[in-house]
Structure formats: C-alpha cells, structure tokens
C-alpha cells in the first residue's frame, strides 16, 4: 500500500467513524456536496441513516447547507416518529417558506456514495433515494408552467449524478 493509499484509507476510516457517531447521536448524518458554478452543477445534500430504519434516504438540491440541514433534519425526525414519505407527496415546513414534492430517484448509485459506503452496498445495489424537489418563490414546481429556477439548479430525478 502506498503512502497515498494509507492516507486515503485513514481519512475514510475517520469519515466512517464520524458518520457512525453522528447517526448514533442524532439519528441521521447529512452529506453535503458543494456545487460547481463553473459547470452549472448545483449543490446537494442527502441523508445517511434512514435506510437503517427501513426508509429511503433523502436528497435535496440547489439550497445552501443551512437550508439543506433544516429540511433534511425536519423530515428525518418525522420519519423516525412514524411518517413514511412516498413519491408524489407534497410537504411544507414551519421554518421554510417552500414546499417540497417527494420524487423517486432512479439512479441512486450515482449519487448516494456515503450512504452506500455506510451500508456497505455496491453502487449497483444502492440504497433507495427520494429527491425533495422544492417549489419556486411563486409556488411552482419544475414541471409546471411559470417555474422560475434554472433547470441546472434543480435537475429532474435521473437527469443528474454526483
């Protein structure tokens, strides 16, 4: 094993330990992936920990880390208290003015790398993932007339990957 391989493995071991500790303490770990404005790639965040209680993991795109954490933590708590999010459902929040529509993600193995690592699942047999698609300031969703957010900020499920 080269020095780089050892360093990478040590880093991954620390990340694994941090993920486990966070899930034990809070029930959910949130993996935030910053976007790349140079290539019009939106930031996104997803949960790790819900699959362990029999629910798909959740992902949200095009919002900052604070909003992503607030939405994902809120919904994770709802799930831990018995809610079951299903595709097509529309949810609202007390602390965020937007609504989200729950949508199935057909390519979770191209996105949920931290969750698959945590559950030791190969990408081809990925944990399931639900996309939380948020409305714009006028209450329109991406498939509705008048939607005002650029498509790259919130691409449709199956049309993007990490």
The pTM assigned to this predicted structure is 0.91
Phi-psi region of 146 (alpha: psi -120 to 50; beta: other; left: phi over 0): left
Each of the 162 residues of the chain gets a pLDDT tens digit; together they read 455 588 877 777 788 898 999 999 999 999 999 876 666 788 999 999 999 999 999 999 999 999 999 999 999 999 999 999 999 999 999 989 999 999 999 999 999 999 999 999 999 999 999 999 999 999 999 999 999 999 999 999 999 999
Residues linked to residue 44 through DSSP beta bridges, in sequence order: 33, 61
Query: CA-CA distance, 106 to 129, in Å (whole number)?
Result: 8
Q: Residue holding tokens 């948020």?
A: 134
Domain positions in the chain are: 30-134
């Amino acid at each position: 094993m080269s020095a780089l391989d050892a360093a990478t493995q040590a880093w991954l071991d620390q990340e694994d330990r941090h993920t486990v500790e966070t899930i034990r303490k809070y029930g959910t770990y949130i993996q935030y992936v910053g976007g790349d404005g140079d290539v019009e790639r939106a930031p996104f965040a997803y949960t790790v920990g819900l699959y362990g209680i029999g629910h798909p993991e959740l992902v949200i795109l095009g919002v900052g880390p604070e909003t992503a954490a607030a939405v994902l933590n809120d919904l994770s708590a709802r799930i831990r208290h018995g809610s079951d999010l299903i595709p097509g459902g529309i949810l609202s929040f007390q602390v965020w003015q937007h609504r989200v529509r729950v949508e199935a993600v057909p390519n979770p193995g191209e996105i949920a790398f931290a969750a698959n690592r945590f559950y030791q699942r190969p990408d081809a047999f990925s944990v399931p993932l639900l996309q939380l698609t948020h409305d714009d300031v006028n209450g329109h969703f991406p498939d509705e007339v008048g939607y005002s957010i650029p498509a790259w900020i919130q691409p449709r499920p199956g049309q993007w990957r990490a």
